[in-house]
Structures are given as C-alpha cells and as structure tokens.
C-alpha cells in the first residue's frame, strides 16, 4: 500500500530525475511515471483516495480493499514538494504523453487542487461529498497549501482565485476560500 502524496511523490521525483538526466534505466522511469499518472487518474477519488495498492516495479495502481477508507484527506499529502514535482512532471510529459497528462489533470489534479482549499460546496461539486478535513483555526501551515490554489488559478487564468489564495492563505484566515 502506498500513500499517494508521501510515497508516490518521492518516487516520482526520483523517476523524473532519471528521465530528465537520461541516466541508466530512464526509459523504465518514464514508463513508471506515465503508469503512475494513469493509475492515480483511474482511482475513484484520484489523489483524494490518499492510499492505493501500488507496484513500484510496474507502476500498476489499484484501489485498496476495505477496511482502508475509500478516501482520506491529509495536509501531509501535499507537503514535501508533491505539487512542485507533479507540476514539473506534467509539463515534461505533456508532448509525448498528452492523453495521460490530460486525464490526470481532469480526473485527479484539478479536482483535488480546487477542493483542498475550497468550500464544502466546491468539495461536493468535485467529489460528491464533503471532506472530513478542515484546517484548524490556528493552523500556521495553511500557507504551504496555497500552492494548490495557485496552480488552479494559473491554469484557469483566474486573477480572482489567485488573489483569494493570497488573501485567505497568507493572511492566516481560518476561513476557506469562498466563505
């Protein structure tokens, strides 16, 4: 079992480095990365599944059977450079693996980015349910998650969403964006 943020993020970083530098085995690293993108996109809740059965030798990813929850939201899943690594990966792979990149963005990446700092309504819109995660009112690490909103703002070319990310996340407001 792998945590999508904490386990797959570091693996993606290592594999992307091998692919970019064309080190020994880089073709396999590229294949594993594409399978990783496709695997996360195929999960019912994408990144919000949080945990998945993952074979690091083949890149195959499947849903965890019960008693593993079908989704789990954790602030740790998006720390440790996951958004930055995957942003770079998506840019690097977009030409040669466009369909895999677009499926990942549509099914896993943007829904998660919108919902994470979004209102309960946004979470329901993107996932069909409210998340059981909220930032504690005194959370000082909210700023580190503004990257998620900034990624969506850049993709949508939304100055309003970008300003909201700065206002709500960097001013330590306990309110979610849109509330």
Residue 144 covered by a domain: yes
pTM as predicted: 0.86
111-122 mean pLDDT: 86
Residue 179 covered by a domain: no
Per-residue pLDDT at 177: 45
Residue 92 covered by a domain: yes
Enclosing domain of residue 92: 2-170
Residue 177 covered by a domain: no
Per-residue pLDDT at 35: 96
Say if CB 77 and CB 49 are below 8 A apart. no
Give per-residue pLDDT as tens, 7-33. Answer: 999 999 999 999 999 999 999 999 999
Residue 175 covered by a domain: no
Residue 28 covered by a domain: yes
Distances (CA, A) of 44 to 41, 61, 88, 158, 171: 8, 12, 24, 27, 34
The domain total for the chain is 1
Residue 60 covered by a domain: yes
Residue 97 has pLDDT above 90, yes or no: yes
Residue 10 covered by a domain: yes
Per-residue pLDDT at 114: 87
Bridge partner list, 54? 61
């Amino acid at each position: 079992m792998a945590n999508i943020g904490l386990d797959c993020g570091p693996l993606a970083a290592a594999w992307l480095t091998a692919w970019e530098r064309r080190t020994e085995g880089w073709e396999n690293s590229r294949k594993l990365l594409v399978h990783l993108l496709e695997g996360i996109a195929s999960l019912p809740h994408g990144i919000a599944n949080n945990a998945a059965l993952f074979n690091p030798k083949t890149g195959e990813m499947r849903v965890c059977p019960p008693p593993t929850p079908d989704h789990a939201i954790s602030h740790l899943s998006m720390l440790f450079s996951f958004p930055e690594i995957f942003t770079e990966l998506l840019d690097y792979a977009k030409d040669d693996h466009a369909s895999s990149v677009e499926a990942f963005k549509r099914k896993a990446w943007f829904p998660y980015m919108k919902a994470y700092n979004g209102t309960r309504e946004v979470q329901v819109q993107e996932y069909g349910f409210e998340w059981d995660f909220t930032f504690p009112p005194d959370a000082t690490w909210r700023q580190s998650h503004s990257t998620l909103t900034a990624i969506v703002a850049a993709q949508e070319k939304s100055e309003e969403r970008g300003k909201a990310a700065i206002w709500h996340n960097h001013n330590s407001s306990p309110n979610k964006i849109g509330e």
